[in-house]
Chains A and B, each alone.
Chain A
Amino acid sequence: MSSIRERLHGPGTPTGVGLGLRAELLAAVHAGEAAGKLAFLEISPENYMHRGGRVVRLFEEIAAQIPIITHGLMMSLGSLEPFADPYFADLRAFLARHGRHARWHSDHLCFSSDQGAILHDLLPLPLDEPTALRVAGRIREAQDRLERPLAVENISYYLPMGEAQLSEAEFTSLVCAEADCGLLLDVNNIYVNSKNFGFDVREMLAAYPIDRVVQLHVAGHTRWDRFEIILDDHGATVEPTVHELMQWVVERTGPVPVLLERDKKIPPLGELLDEVARLQASYDQALARRSHQPIGAAHVG
């Protein structure tokens, strides 16, 4: 039986390094400054749904030129409340227009709503089997509503949600297996979590279901002194360790889309494209190593 990556990746699936399309970058990307330098752009549909005007026009013209992969923010897969029909109807219509390059849509393994209020943040879930099974059920429902496969992203989190019975990798593995969904593996999130909770990042990464990876995220992070945590704010360049983690995954998956996330202190596009190029070089090295030797070890060396 083919892996989910084989099922979801097709001839038109962009692979290599792409960039998150942020409002600050729209004009420069529209002007062609990224032409030929990006494998794809990632966008959050919620930033363009329920919206018209110049920003949407720029996005649609960009989308006609550069492959787009969609990554949502507001599905709240772990919420205790039912899904909202209007949101799914809007999202389904959006994906019908803009979801042709990737066969999947993705969102986060988190919850974002409470008693009807939407908090616009990614709140962590209890890492236990009942939660994993409940969330898997919601993923299956969401896939049915969208008539499209989903990939779920592992999040950064800053506090344990009760007494954890599973590691984040075990929890994610169980969710993905029960939902038969893809994994958008954010290696910076695992790194940030390892710093905030003191586990070995490479051991945790190796425990993730790499066979389900359809896409990667990489990003930078900063220290939040007030709360004494490393914050996954996507506000810095990607650290060398995160490059290595990305490479370890790519050596095992082969070609996948790898997204550079930058959401804070966004530098000029040229500087971001330089970072994309460095990531692309790391990615290409990993693919070259993959083609030259068998990969079997469970450890990230």
Chain B
Amino acid sequence: MSAERIQSALARIARDSALRDRFEQAPDATLAELGLDARERAGMLSASPQRLLAYHQMVHGRLFKAIRTFIGGAADRLGHDRLRADVDAWIADPGPKTPYFLEIPAEFLAWAQPRWEADSSLAPWVAELAAHQVLIRTVRNDPREIGEPTGKGLELDGPVVCNGTVRVVRYRWAVHRLPKRLGPEQEPAHEPAIVIAYRGPDQQPSFIDIKPRSAHMLERLLAGASLREALFSACEAMGETLDDAILSVTAVTLADLFERHVLLGGAA
């Protein structure tokens, strides 16, 4: 008896919905197609072919439920059948790679988002909404440390210590401003937004809008640049020349980011 063939047959039917359907129609023939000999097939079918279908249901049901929960309102707009079909296809190939269950929706979304964005039959913002919903939980569970204020002032040529969970996200639609529960006709404003996503000392995820120059500056600071480098780089990205007005606005922005626990101070 080949354990490898038998394990592979169960796994493939558990993963692949088309194969599962073929198995339901012709159990013995499908197992033969998968390389099992007569005794192996008889053994596997001795209880009932339904038992094998139960494994398909368990695998797909658990993964679908997690994904649907994580993508929130986007699941309603996609519709059950479309989401189910996409999750089924993803499980068949490539399938989850992470051993951590919480990371599965993000893995699925990395596969699904380009497909949804390319599909003109879907609302153009659905993929972005799903990504935002997943990001909420990603930020909530981010393993990186938030960090504590350093107590040191900023130096122009020194690095700035940042909250470890901070990231800058760019949206084409204001999906972050939608309520958790979408009304049936509710849509996000078609306004590009740049958003800081992070987890605060209260352990809750926060999303705050940030202007383009400040976003560029923050991204450079997150990459380890000094304040001087980050500020000049941001002005260059905006096609601006650093002047007193920009410095004044920047000072206010930095103070605000400290207040919000996005920035933690100068390096020790």
B199 touches A (CB below 8 Å):
yes
Q: Using CB atoms and an 8 Å cutoff, list the residues of chain B in contact with chain A.
A: 1, 3-4, 6-8, 10-12, 14-15, 36, 39-40, 42-44, 46-48, 50-55, 57-59, 62-63, 91, 94-104, 140-145, 165, 199, 203-204
A53–B140 CB distance below 8 A: yes
A165 touches B (CB below 8 Å):
yes
Q: Using CB atoms and an 8 Å cutoff, list the residues of chain A in contact with chain B.
A: 46-47, 49-57, 74, 78, 80, 84, 87, 111, 113-121, 123-126, 128, 130-131, 134, 158-165, 196-197, 224, 226-229
B101–A50 CB distance below 8 A: no
A46–B101 CB distance below 8 A: yes
Closest 7 CB pairs of A and B: A117-B95, A114-B11, A159-B51, A163-B43, A54-B203, A74-B99, A227-B54
A126–B203 CB distance below 8 A: no
Q: Which of B36, B47, B199 has the most CB of A within 10 A?
A: B47
The closest CB in chain A to the CB of B8 belongs to A114
**Given the complex of chains A and B, what is the CA–CA distance between A52 and B217 in angstroms?**
27
B43–A162 CB distance below 8 A: yes
A52–B95 CB distance below 8 A: no
**Which residues of B sit under 8 angstroms from A123, Cβ to Cβ?**
7, 10-11, 14, 55
Extra pairs beyond A118-B96, A126-B6, A228-B50 (9, CB < 8 Å): A47-B102, A53-B199, A80-B8, A114-B7, A121-B59, A123-B10, A123-B14, A161-B7, A165-B1
B52–A159 CB distance below 8 A: yes
**Which residues of B sit under 8 angstroms from A118, Cβ to Cβ?**
95-99
Cβ contact of A114, chosen from B15, B54, B144, cutoff 8 A: B15
A161–B94 CB distance below 8 A: no
Tell me the smallest distance from the CB of A174 to a CB of chain B, in Å.
14
**Given the complex of chains A and B, what is the CA–CA distance between A78 and B55 in angstroms?**
17
**Which residues of B sit under 8 angstroms from A197, Cβ to Cβ?**
47
**Which residues of B sit under 8 angstroms from A50, Cβ to Cβ?**
100, 102-103, 143
**Which residues of A sit under 8 angstroms from B50, Cβ to Cβ?**
227-228
**Which residues of B sit under 8 angstroms from A228, Cβ to Cβ?**
48, 50
B14–A164 CB distance below 8 A: no
**Given the complex of chains A and B, what is the CA–CA distance between A164 and B39 in angstroms?**
10
**Contact flag A161-B96 (CB < 8 Å), given A121-B62, A227-B53:** no
**Given the complex of chains A and B, what is the CA–CA distance between A80 and B59 in angstroms?**
19
**Which residues of B sit under 8 angstroms from A113, Cβ to Cβ?**
11
Cβ contact of A54, chosen from B46, B52, B140, cutoff 8 A: B140
Tell me the smallest distance from the CB of B160 to a CB of chain A, in Å.
21
**Which residues of A sit under 8 angstroms from B62, Cβ to Cβ?**
120-121
**Given the complex of chains A and B, what is the CA–CA distance between A116 and B97 in angstroms?**
7
A158–B141 CB distance below 8 A: no
Q: Which of A74, A116, A158 has the most CB of B within 10 A?
A: A158
B97–A117 CB distance below 8 A: yes
**Which residues of B sit under 8 angstroms from A56, Cβ to Cβ?**
143
Tell me the smallest distance from the CB of B143 to a CB of chain A, in Å.
4
